[in-house]
Structure 1
């Protein structure tokens, strides 16, 4: 894949404390994978590199509001997210208690995300971008190629990858700027995601490879 700032953007899913901080509610499940992949630092490098090279950055966040907890069914991890209060906020129009919460951005990413240029989309609700405005925002900026990173590999990243491909985007996944749950019964989410990425993504790159291609 060849990248150009006029047609290519970095898309990050869920760069939030509940996934990437040791204090986050999912750290017991994802912490080992985050450490093994050096995910936090690699996302930081992608943000710094793409910003410096003039690429646009889009964030597809995950928030749950009180009315979302009234859903009557859901998948295994979806139910778990509701049970543990993952990404919880008091309401769609309130930032009460947001600063430093599990739903907040990882502190080191804030200078990039809150620079007045990054596009923060409306929240996705399960895993994919079908329910938020990511595709609209990308198309309105003339973006046709996406470099995809963030959390978590086998859930939101894979779901975003599949939907963006179906919507006609060319998508590269950054393999070490993501991580996934590891569970003794449910299995290794990272390994499962990497298998699928290699089958369906336009490219699968490390952070170093992605930055080299973006700045070539």
Structure 2
């Protein structure tokens, strides 16, 4: 699935969702759950290519991080999701831990923006992401990272609702199972995403885009 988006540097941002060691690094608490899919699709290499491409083309880069957990989080909440219950019990992305540090290959540069942390799955809900995208004239968002059927899917859906052109890079987005990948890219995303591309397809589309100058 593709669209006619030109991916102008003036209006395009790469959203790197939850690039934490707990998700993406050997020894991370969630790495064993995502390892089969990650290795099967070449996740890390494709994420590296996407980030390098965005930087070389002058796209804005936004890190879209999940809340970093502390032992007292959620204690007084009325309505924890199953995911939040698991996060708090396992202290995933624990504040101050190695697991809550960025994977070393996805460290933001000085001019790249780290958004406020999201508490559930949407990178937009209760954060500054929409505001900051608009302040930087972004109209097209390209998503990579973790996890396909939770934070990536929900952030992408929310972005489409807010009026952004949404592109998903299917081999630079990981999950815990092939069934989750199928549900995201074959069933759900075609209903809201404007483009679902591989890394190679995106790089080719960018190479054919009309060059622009960032504001």
Q: Using the TM superposition, give the Cα deviation of residue 175 of structure 1 relative to its aligned residue in structure 2, in angstroms.
A: 0.4
Structure 1 residue runs of 5 or longer lacking an equivalent are 90-96
Give the equivalent residue in structure 1 for 2:201. 209
Q: Using the TM superposition, give the Cα deviation of residue 72 of structure 1 relative to its aligned residue in structure 2, in angstroms.
A: 4.0
In structure 1, distance between residues paired with 2:86 and 2:180: 15
Which of 74, 81, 95 is equivalent to 1:75?
81
Which of 15, 31, 35 is equivalent to 2:35?
31
Give the equivalent residue in structure 1 for 2:211. none
Deviation digits for residues 72-92 of structure 1 (CA, Å, limit 9, x no counterpart) = 432222221221111111xxx
Which of 183, 191, 206 is equivalent to 1:199?
191
Q: Using the TM superposition, give the Cα deviation of residue 149 of structure 1 relative to its aligned residue in structure 2, in angstroms.
A: 1.0
Is the counterpart of residue 140 in structure 1 residue 156 in structure 2? no
In structure 1, distance between residues paired with 2:93 and 2:69: 9
Q: Indicate the SS of the match to 2:171.
A: coil
- Answer yes or no: is the 8 Å Cα contact 1:50–1:214 preserved in 2: no
Give the equivalent residue in structure 1 for 2:113. 119
Give the equivalent residue in structure 2 for 1:171. 166
Which of 77, 80, 91 is equivalent to 1:85?
91
Give the equivalent residue in structure 2 for 1:189. 180
Is the counterpart of residue 152 in structure 1 residue 147 in structure 2? yes
Q: Using the TM superposition, give the Cα deviation of residue 201 of structure 1 relative to its aligned residue in structure 2, in angstroms.
A: 0.4
In structure 2, distance between residues paired with 1:30 and 1:57: 24
Is the counterpart of residue 50 in structure 1 residue 45 in structure 2? no
57-66 or 132-141, which moves further after superposition?
57-66
Shift of the 72–24 alpha-carbon distance from structure 1 to 2, 3 Å rule, reads farther
What TM-score results when the alignment is normalised by the length of structure 2? 0.88
- Answer yes or no: is the 8 Å Cα contact 2:69–2:92 preserved in 1: no
Q: Indicate the SS of the match to 1:148.
A: strand
Aligned length: 200
Give the equivalent residue in structure 1 for 2:213. none
Q: Indicate the SS of the match to 2:137.
A: coil
Structure 2 residue runs of 5 or longer lacking an equivalent are 209-215
Q: Indicate the SS of the match to 2:152.
A: helix
Deviation digits for residues 156-192 of structure 1 (CA, Å, limit 9, x no counterpart) = 000001100111101010000011123xxxx822221
In structure 2, distance between residues paired with 1:108 and 1:148: 17
Is the counterpart of residue 59 in structure 1 residue 63 in structure 2? yes
What TM-score results when the alignment is normalised by the length of structure 1? 0.87
